[in-house]
Amino acid sequence: MGRSPRPSSKLPSAVHYEQADYGDVEKLKTFLAGAEEVIDLAYATAPQTSYADPVFDLVSNVPPSVRLLQEAVAASVHRVVLVSSGGTVYGVARQLPIREDHPTQPISPYGITKLAIENYGRMFTSLFNLPVIIVRPANAYGEGQRRLSGQGFIAAAMERIKHRQEVEIYGEQGTVRDYIHVDDVASGILAALQRGEPGSAYNIGTGRGLSNLEILRAIEPLASKLRLPIHTRYSPARKFDVPDNYLDCTLLQSVSGWHAQIPLEEGVERLWHAVLTQN
């Protein structure tokens, strides 16, 4: 797997950063030695890229994740959080907002592999007593997001607006998604780590669905201050896009008291200023 860039911001003094290949078993053993808790966010693909090569999506993500679970058992790790996907594992919504007991019928390779790893996690909890907790975040956005990675509509739209380029919308309104600031995602993961029940899955979102056009309307006042127009280009809706997805997060709230705290308007403004100051 390719290596991720080093953190763009300064880390706390107590944090030790190591960069390595997720598939390097010896490194994995070293990192897990003495570890009590593990949060697994590693993934080699994004929803959009998974369609281009479903086999790569499968082989680059599932085997290393299963190996991590095996090594976590060997290292007697106390708790493991697997970061799945609230935006893809459910597939087309039968009811909204989506609860954790909604049927899981993903329509993307990315969602299928995420769900497979969830099931491996549950198996390791059942058979090997490894306390695995699953979280399913909604569509995260925030400062530091890679804006042209094919993932993250808000950041990508801002980047195009900044350079006076068109923002492409698929369908009349675009897709409806649950946009949650990355700080709230982080606090939700910690809440699940500390209070979640092993073998259970927890949504992390806001419970609010917004279309692509509604997001552009939220950006418009910020762009207008700099006299940056928002140009849109409409394309036919894509078959692999779930039309509507936003999450019911009362389960995590009931076990931990967690709820998203950063309003969209505040989060969008923070990201906008970050995009303006970055190359």
* CA 159-242-57 angle, 5° bins: 75
Q: Give the model's pLDDT for residue 12.
A: 86
What pLDDT, on the 0 to 100 scale, is given for residue 2?
43
Question: pLDDT value at position 232?
Answer: 97
Please provide the distance, in angstroms rounded to a whole number, between the alpha carbons at the two ends of the chain: 26
Q: Which residue has the higher pLDDT, 263 or 148?
A: 263
Mean pLDDT for the stretch of residues 270-275: 96
**Looking at residues 24-45, what average pLDDT do you find?**
93
- The answer on pLDDT for 8 being more than 70 is no
Residue 226, token pair as written in the block: 């700099």
CB 192 within 8 A of CB 260: no
The pLDDT value recorded for residue 240 is 83
Give start and end residues of each alpha helix (H) in 151-206.
Answer: 153-162, 182-195
Is the pLDDT score of 1 beyond 60? Answer: no
**The residue to which tokens 């969209």 are assigned:** 264
- Per-residue confidence (pLDDT) for residue 278, from 0 to 100: 80
State the DSSP string of 26-95.
HHHHHHHTT--EEEE---S--HHHHHH-HHHHHHHHHHHHHHHHHHHHHTT-SEEEEE--TTTSS-S-SS
- The active-site residue out of 22, 43, 110, 202 is 110
- The CA-atom distances, in angstroms, between 110 and each of 43, 131, 266 are 10, 24, 30
The confidence score (pLDDT) of residue 9 equals 73
pLDDT for 149: 64
pLDDT at 246: 98
Alpha-carbon distances, residue 2 vs 22, 23, 184 (angstroms): 9, 10, 27
More confident residue, 12 or 140: 140
Residue 107 in this model has a pLDDT that exceeds 90:
yes
How is the chain split into domains, by residue range? Answer: 32-277
Sheet of strand 201-204: strand arrangement: 37-40, 79-83, 132-137, 201-204
Give the per-residue pLDDT at 150: 62
Angle between helices 153-162 and 264-277 (to 10 degrees): 50
120 a catalytic residue: no
Q: Which CATH class is domain 32-277?
A: alpha beta
Residue 276 pLDDT exceeds 50: yes
Q: What is the pTM of this model?
A: 0.94
Residue 49 has what pLDDT?
83
> What pLDDT score does 222 carry?
98
What's the rounded mean pLDDT across residues 68-83? Answer: 97
Reported as a single tens digit per residue, the pLDDT across 197-224 is: 999 999 999 999 999 999 999 999 999 9
Residue with tokens 């779930």: 242
pLDDT of residue 66: 97
